Structure 1
Amino acid sequence: MKIKDFGVEQWMNEYETKAKYNLGETCVSSLSIRELCELVGVDVNDFAKQLVDRRLTYGAIEGAFELGAFELKKAITRLYQNLTPDEIVTEHGAIGANNLVLNALVEPGDEVIAVTPTYQQLQSIPEAIGATVKLLPLKRENGYLPDAEQLRGLVSDKTKLIVLNNPDNPTGALMSQAGLQTIVDIAKSVDAYVLCDEVYRHLTQEDGYSPSIIDLYDKGISTSSFSKVFSLAGIRLGWLATHDQAVMKACLSYRDYETISCGQLDEMVGTLALKNQAVLLERNRGIVRENLKVLEEWVHQQPHITWLKPKAGTTALLYYDFDLPSTIFCDRLMKEYETLLVPGSFFDIENSLRIGYAFETAHLRDGMNQLGKFLAKLEQEAR
């Protein structure tokens, strides 16, 4: 199967270990196991003993019938409304969950509608399978939210799947419940599934419950993980959730070929985190809310930068007014100032940059200081 190069991931692979100031990071300030235990009030020595005494066999294939995994899936259900453990499949991160759903459901000749900009995986996998992929542009003037009338014009009786990303990566746009319901109504009109990558869900700038697609639609599919919201990217654990048993059956069948099971140690750490999800959410919402204020203050001081302030998530899209392709901009920034950003061209939006703002505040300030120096240098060069 031929597939497009994954622009964002290849860029991060090339530069993130070399950067002194990594403004491309999208996870909320990552936790060690010790820090996690201290945060949730668990004795680190007791938990470490559980880890080292664990026999490293395969876990339960469906992640359901062994105590730790069952407890994990039970904890995941509390992130949704009216979800049961047997409506969840664990995977190797949200990237594994998205891959599983797309490969299990999409066939050559199917029609898939995907928002853009978004995480490239959500567009490139169905295209590589042989589906016709129609793109639904998220426009700045519309708050980077899907245009319902445009979507109505794209769907047809051949549409099998509508793919969303909420909150959106890279823009940080957040669809309301009413907006999601509109998408659901359009999907129902053609009996299409809706896959929603919700890996940034819960990281909102305002308090309140963020609805999931599966709260609203029986043919909705939610994917998520521990990486962004729960600061545990290193355990490489995620999941998909759906009420649709046909989807569940297809995903479990395909999963036998590509996953077998998730790691038992990963599931133990994930279970500990989700049993204490309220504590982690309070910590991480505090970080993204404070850091967005810091980023907003910096943006307002920059004459060459504009943006639409994100509503949720950990990323924002910055626009600059220099006549310079974003890959060259970011390459020079890295080489001259050891500072990493992601070119907007990887999201098909030129003269823009994706910035993450969810890591340590001091690191964010230092990185933005370097970016400011580079912008001043470009201004001098333009004179």
Structure 2
Amino acid sequence: MKINHFKIEEWMNEYEDDAVYNLAETCVDSLTLRELVELGGSSYDTFFQNLADYKLTYGHIEGSEEFKTLVSGLYENQTPDNVLAMNGAIGANFLVLYSLIEAGDEVVSVHPTYQQLYDVPESFGATVKKLYLRPENHYLPDIKELENMVSNKTKLIIINNPNNPSGAVMDRDYLKKIVAVAESVDAYILCDEVYRNLLQNTERDVPSIVDLYDKGISTSSMSKVLSLAGLRLGWIAANEAVIKECIKHRDYTTISCGMMDDILAVHALKHYDLIMERNLKIIHDNLNILDQWIEREPKIHYVKPEAGTTAVVHFDYDLSSVDFCKGLYDLNGAFLAPGSAFDLEGTFRIGYACGTQVLKDGLEKVSEYLRTIEPTEEIK
């Protein structure tokens, strides 16, 4: 099976470990194990003493009942039977595609988005049509364009809400328009929702696709919103027929996720509101810092993100995005993701939900680098 190189993951793998100022990270600033366990006043020592006699078996094959119950509570009208645990959202996305898509199927995917979402179905032999998201439309899908792209052969429409890398978000009314298009051709909708609820305006009505459409499929994880990427635990939320099909295919790939991951995820989900209070403050404070920095840099501009943890930033310098990011990294260790990883040349993706001081220091280093590309009049 042939598949393209995964550009953003290969970039992260090559440079992330040695970065001094990691502005390419997409999770909200990660929690420590102690911070997680002590949420709500829990005792760190007691928590782990209670785990000491657990046998390290496979654990719950499809996710513990408690985990699935807590996850189903994040949706409007789902039950534990609508939830299946997976090894992160990347595992959840892969399993959905592996279970539903075969050679000859037609898939429509938004672009840019996480590369897995369009390259995996293509590697399975599907015809993938890309619905391009443009800055002039605030990186939202053009509904008329989508209507013209689908056909009776379309099996799946893939969206990502909030969007990675742009931070665009579709509200209830917008999602209903996507659903109407899917219904017109009886297609599934897969929505990668790993940034769901990380809203700049928390009053916005942004439901999950699984609560709007019977053939809607939501994937998410503990990684981005809950700052727990190290748990490697995600899920699929879908109707029971889709879940059963996914379980059939899952038996060939996964068996179970880690029992300890499940236990720690349950603890986090019980304190979901506390984590969200922390993480919403981080993204609100940090986006304000990023926005002020953008205003100060005359050759830097962007479509301000409305949700999530990332933004696409355009630069007016005669450099490729890889050369721009590599030059920055080599100069002072500040780390960004090149827009070419998302087929957006002349841009970089910044993750602004890192520690606030890391963001401040990193942006100073980016400014320092910009002065080396085009010296100021005083330096001249």
Bin the TM-score by the shorter chain: over 0.9
* Residues 381 and 251 (structure 1), Cα distance of their counterparts in 2 relative to 1, 3 Å cut: farther
What is the distance in 2 between the residues matched to 1:183 and 1:280? 31
2:102 alignment partner, one of 95, 107, 110: 107
Residue 45 of structure 2 aligns to a residue in which SS? helix
Q: After the TM superposition, which residues 351-362 of structure 1 pair with which residues of structure 2 at under 5 Å, given as runs?
A: 351-362=346-357
* Residues 61 and 39 (structure 1), Cα distance of their counterparts in 2 relative to 1, 3 Å cut: closer
In the superposition, the TM-score normalised over structure 1's length comes to 0.97
Is 1:52 the counterpart of 2:47 in the alignment?
Answer: no
- After TM superposition, give the deviation of residue 62 of structure 1 in Å: 1.6
State the AA in 1 paired with 2:33.
Answer: I
What is the distance in 2 between the residues matched to 1:11 and 1:306? 23
Deviates most, 189-198 or 275-284: 275-284
Is 1:221 the counterpart of 2:194 in the alignment?
Answer: no
What is the distance in 1 between the residues matched to 2:155 and 2:376? 50
Q: After the TM superposition, which residues 1-383 of structure 1 pair with which residues of structure 2 at under 5 Å, given as runs?
A: 1-63=1-63, 69-208=64-203, 210-243=206-239, 245-380=240-375
State the AA in 1 paired with 2:365.
Answer: Q
Is the contact made by 2:39 and 2:271 (CA closer than 8 Å) also made in structure 1?
A: no
What is the distance in 1 between the residues matched to 2:311 and 2:51? 37
Residue 51 of structure 2 aligns to a residue in which SS? helix
Deviates most, 48-57 or 188-197: 48-57
Query: CA RMSD of the aligned region, Å?
Result: 1.3
Map of 1:66 onto structure 2: none
In the superposition, the TM-score normalised over structure 2's length comes to 0.97
Residue 313 of structure 2 aligns to a residue in which SS? strand
State the AA in 1 paired with 2:192.
Answer: D
What is the distance in 2 between the residues matched to 1:16 and 1:135? 29
What is the distance in 1 between the residues matched to 2:73 and 2:230? 22
Q: Give the gaps of 5 or more residues in structure 1.
A: 64-68
- After TM superposition, give the deviation of residue 46 of structure 1 in Å: 1.3
State the AA in 2 paired with 1:52.
Answer: A
State the AA in 1 paired with 2:167.
Answer: G
State the AA in 2 paired with 1:16.
Answer: E
Residue 73 of structure 1 aligns to a residue in which SS? helix
Q: Give the gaps of 5 or more residues in structure 2.
A: none
What is the distance in 2 between the residues matched to 1:104 and 1:70? 23
1:143-171 CA-partner distances (Å, limit 9, x unpaired): 11110000000000000000000000000
What is the distance in 2 between the residues matched to 1:109 and 1:247? 20
Is the contact made by 2:170 and 2:206 (CA closer than 8 Å) also made in structure 1?
A: no
- After TM superposition, give the deviation of residue 264 of structure 1 in Å: 0.4
- After TM superposition, give the deviation of residue 381 of structure 1 in Å: 10
- After TM superposition, give the deviation of residue 332 of structure 1 in Å: 1.1
What is the distance in 2 between the residues matched to 1:2 and 1:255? 21
State the AA in 1 paired with 2:213.
Answer: Y
